[in-house]
């Protein structure tokens, strides 16, 4: 078993550019995901706003100045209503603000939105409520009627989330790609040679699983290293448990990848199948978009993927610092799927040899 893992490890070590891509790409993608998605979920929605002030009173000019202070260069003043609407429709502005006079001559504020811009419009609307009340000569509604109390750890929850989510996605991609080497070994007869030398299929596939698990663990380590500044302070037990989770994720990916490639006749079959499965699992399991933003049905459906178990286990351990039954269930699911995949791969390879 270790001879096979060692042979794969030597091959990996000698392909330096492949090795670099395997270990450098995941942290880079993590940094990108964390930067792109992290800002939005922290509440820093950098919405751009188009403003047209048709009222042109000192009071409405003050509103414009207040918005300008708030939004800076993201506020654009336009000359007419149509220009504001076009800017919002075209996407040059996330939302628009129109200030006009009503029939009584009082300034009236309207937020202009378009399909898919609900979040930006709602955020802008909330900012404008007290301003609109002031312009209408009404007292501003008290904003503390519904107080907000923040609970749980402080810090970059998105950064922590994506460390797990991105690492799982890449571990699965790498495992799928790596397992395809087994198809070459089957085609050339190397697999038959190794099986004969060792006296069975199980040790050969187990050797591959050991190596794929090692690569997966290295990838996860690379991602979490890049994520370290964004993670909350971790106790030793949290780091150890996260390491075990990463090992089980890698084992799970190795098992699934070996089973999928064992089911395929050739690389031509395996390439699209494994890519499809890896993308599907990543999308459903919350590696691309956070699970807590998914509709309930998809969040439930996501539990069929190892990614969801992995992401939730990482979140529990790293973000919430919570060693619960959920973590144990996650470990069991990941390890179970990995071992079942390996067993399935052995069975299929043995049956294939007999066909």
For another protein, the closer CB: 24 or 197: 197
Helix 181-188 and helix 236-263: axis angle, to 10°? 40
Candidates 3, 28, 36, 289: give the one binding another protein (CB under 8 A): 3
Structure token digits, residue 280? 């599907």
Read out DSSP for 63-104? HHHHHHHHHGGGEEE-SSHHHHHHHHHHTSSSEEEEEEE-TT
Binding segment (CB under 8 A) for another protein, from list 53-61, 197-205, 219-227, 238-246 = 197-205
On whether the CB atoms of residues 253 and 306 are closer than 8 A, the answer is yes
Assess 92 for contact with another protein (CB under 8 A).
no
Assess 272 for contact with another protein (CB under 8 A).
no
Rounded least distance, CB 195 to another protein, Å = 8
Q: Is the dihedral of CA 63, 68, 69, 70 positive or negative?
A: positive
Rounded least distance, CB 36 to another protein, Å = 37
Rounded least distance, CB 170 to another protein, Å = 22
For another protein, the closer CB: 15 or 46: 15
Assess 7 for contact with another protein (CB under 8 A).
yes
Structure token digits, residue 160? 């922590």
Assess 325 for contact with another protein (CB under 8 A).
no
On whether the CB atoms of residues 97 and 76 are closer than 8 A, the answer is no
For residue 178, CA distances in Å to 10, 19, 210, 267, 340 come to 13, 11, 12, 12, 19
Assess 197 for contact with another protein (CB under 8 A).
yes
Binding segment (CB under 8 A) for another protein, from list 10-18, 116-124, 214-222, 318-326 = 10-18
Rounded least distance, CB 205 to another protein, Å = 13
On whether the CB atoms of residues 250 and 175 are closer than 8 A, the answer is yes
Spatial separation of the C-alpha atoms in residues 248 and 314, rounded to whole Å: 12
On whether the CB atoms of residues 26 and 166 are closer than 8 A, the answer is yes
Binding segment (CB under 8 A) for another protein, from list 99-107, 182-190, 288-296, 298-306 = 182-190
Assess 21 for contact with another protein (CB under 8 A).
no
Beta-carbon neighbour count of residue 137 at 10 Å?
9
Candidates 19, 45, 122, 192: give the one binding another protein (CB under 8 A): 192
Beta-carbon neighbour count of residue 182 at 10 Å?
25
**Site size for another protein (CB under 8 A):** 26
Task: Give the residues lining the site for another protein (CB under 8 A).
Answer: 2-4, 6-7, 10-11, 14-15, 185, 187-190, 192-199, 203, 353-355
């Amino acid at each position: 078993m270790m001879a096979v893992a060692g042979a794969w490890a030597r091959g990996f070590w000698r392909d330096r550019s492949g090795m670099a891509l395997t270990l450098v790409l995941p942290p880079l993608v993590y940094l990108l995901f964390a930067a792109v998605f992290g800002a939005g979920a922290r509440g820093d929605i950098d919405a751009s706003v188009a403003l047209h002030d048709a009222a042109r009173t000192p009071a409405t000019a003050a509103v414009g100045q207040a918005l300008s202070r708030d939004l800076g260069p993201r506020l654009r003043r336009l000359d007419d209503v149509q220009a504001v609407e076009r800017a919002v429709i075209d996407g040059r502005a996330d939302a628009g603000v129109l200030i006009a006079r009503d029939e009584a001559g009082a300034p009236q504020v309207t937020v202009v939105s378009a399909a898919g811009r609900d979040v930006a419009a709602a955020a802008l609307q909330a900012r404008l409520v007290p301003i609109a009340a002031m312009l209408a000569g009404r007292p501003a509604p008290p904003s503390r009627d519904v107080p907000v109390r923040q609970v749980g750890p402080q810090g970059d929850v998105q950064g922590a989330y994506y460390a797990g989510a991105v690492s799982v996605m890449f571990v699965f991609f790498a495992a799928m790609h790596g397992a395809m080497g087994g198809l070459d070994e089957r085609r050339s007869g190397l697999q038959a040679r190794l099986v004969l030398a060792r006296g069975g299929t199980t040790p050969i596939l187990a050797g591959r699983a050991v190596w794929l698990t090692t690569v997966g663990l290295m990838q996860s380590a690379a991602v979490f290293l890049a994520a370290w500044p964004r993670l909350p302070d971790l106790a030793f037990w949290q780091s150890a448990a996260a390491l075990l989770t990463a090992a089980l994720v890698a084992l799970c990916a190795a098992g699934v990848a070996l089973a999928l490639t064992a089911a395929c006749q050739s690389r031509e079959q395996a390439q699209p199948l494994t890519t499809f499965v890896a993308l599907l699992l990543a999308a459903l399991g919350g590696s691309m978009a956070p699970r807590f933003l998914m509709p309930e049905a998809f969040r439930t459906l996501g539990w069929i993927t190892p990614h969801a178990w992995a992401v939730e286990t990482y979140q529990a351990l790293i973000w919430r610092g919570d060693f619960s039954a959920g973590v144990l269930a996650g470990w069991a699911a990941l390890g179970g799927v990995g071992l079942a995949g390996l067993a399935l791969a052995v069975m299929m390879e043995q049956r294939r040899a007999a066909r």
